[in-house]
Amino acid sequence: MKSRIALVVVSLVLSLLIGLTLRRGAGGDASGAPKRPLIGLSMDTLEVERWQHDRDLFEARANQLGADVMVVSANGSDTRQVRDCEALIANKVSALVIIPHDGAAMAKAVNLAHEAHVPVLAYDRLILNCDLDLYLTFDNVRVGELQAQYLVDHLKGRKARIVRLLGSKTDNNAFLFKQGQDNILNPAIARGDIEIVHEDWCDGWRPENAKKILNAAITKAGRDIDAVLCSADILSAGAVQVLLEEGLAGKVLVTGQDADLASCQRIVEGTQSMTIYKPIKNLATVAADLAVKMARREVIVARQELPNGKINVPSIFLPVHVVDKDSLESTVIADGFHTRESIYKK
C-alpha cells in the first residue's frame, strides 16, 4: 500500500514536471483485484494531426484490455524524449511503447528500459542500433511505391517534371518511403518518362521546410512542373500553399500520406491528388494488444523482421490504401476515420 501511494506521488510530481498524463480506464484497480498493467507511451510529437488519433485509439484499446496508459510527448526534442522515457521507467511501467523522433537517439531509451527489465515496442518508426524487442508499423516501402505509382499512372503521355519532398532524415520511415518511390520511379526515369528536377529532405517533417524546398525548386527549375511528390500530408500542406501563391494549385499533381482531414479536404477541392490511408485504428489497436501482452509477459509471435543496424528486429507490417477523390467514400469515410460532413465541409 505504501509503495502504491509512493508511486502515485511520484506520478503526480512527474506529471507536473513534464506534462505527463495518466489515464485510468473505467473501474481502475480496486484493492485486492489483480494489478492493472501500466504501459508507457512516449511520443515524438502531438502537433501533427495523425499522432493525436494514434494516442486516443491506443489508450482506448489498452483501457479496454484492463491496462492504464501514461502518455508523454517530446515536441520533437530528443533530449526531452529520453527524459520522458526515464520518467516512465521510474513510474514502473511494465512495457514501453516509443514513437521516436530520432530513431538513432532513442536507442539510449531502449537500453535504459532493458536495464530496468522493461520490454520496448517501437511504434510506426524503427529504433536503430539496439536490442529492440518488437517493431509494429505499416508497410512503409509500399507507401512510397503507391505514391510514385499514382504519379506514373496519371502522368502518362508526357515527359513529366517532378519535384520530390522527402521526409525527415531522423526518421527511418523517410528512407523506406524513398526506397518505395525509387522502386517505381527509377525505371520510369530510365525510360525517359520522368525527370526529378529537384528533391530534398524536409527536416523535422516541417511544412515550412517543404515550402522552402518547393520555392527553391521553382527558382531553380521554373514553374513548369507536373507533380510534387510529397512523402506525407504534413509536407503537402506546405507544398499546396506555395502552389496556391504561384497560381499552380490544381494544375500540378500532389501526393501525400496519412489521410489527414485537411488533405482529404484538399482532395475534394482539387489542390491535392491523393493520400495514403493507413488505418491508424488497426495500428493502435494491435499495438495496444501487443503492449498489454508484453506487460503481462505473454508470448508474441512476429513473422517478419527488419534489420536495425544491430539485430533483425521481430516486426509486424500492416497494409495501406490509396485514397483519391473516387475512393474517399470507400476508405476513410467507410472506416469512420473522418465524417463525410467534415471532408466535404457540409
Interacting residues toward ligand GAL by CB under 6 A? 48, 50, 124-125, 171, 173, 205, 232, 234, 257-258
The residue among 64 and 265 lying less far from ligand GAL, judged by its C-beta, is 265
The residue among 125 and 198 lying less far from ligand GAL, judged by its C-beta, is 125
User: Which residue of the chain is nearest ligand GAL when measured via CB?
Assistant: 173
CB 195 to ligand GAL: min, Å: 26
The residue among 88 and 232 lying less far from ligand GAL, judged by its C-beta, is 232
CB 87 to ligand GAL: min, Å: 23
The residue among 102 and 124 lying less far from ligand GAL, judged by its C-beta, is 124
CB 191 to ligand GAL: min, Å: 30
CB 194 to ligand GAL: min, Å: 24
3 state SS for the chain: CHHHHHHHHHHHHHHHHHCCEEECCCCCCCCCCCCCCEEEEEECCCCCHHHHHHHHHHHHHHHHCCCEEEEEECCCCHHHHHHHHHHHHHCCCCEEEEECCCCCCCHHHHHHHHHCCCCEEEECCCCCCCCCCEEEEECHHHHHHHHHHHHHHHCCCCCEEEEEEECCCCCHHHHHHHHHHHHHHHHHHHHCCEEEEEEEECHHHCHHHHHHHHHHHHHHHCCCCCEEEECCHHHHHHHHHHHHHCCCCCCCEECCCCCCHHHHHHHHHCCCCCEEECCHHHHHHHHHHHHHHHHCCCCCCCCEEEECCCCEEEEEEECCEEECCCCCHHHHHCCCCCCHHHHHCC
The residue among 125 and 293 lying less far from ligand GAL, judged by its C-beta, is 125
CB 226 to ligand GAL: min, Å: 24
CB 171 to ligand GAL: min, Å: 5
The residue among 102 and 258 lying less far from ligand GAL, judged by its C-beta, is 258
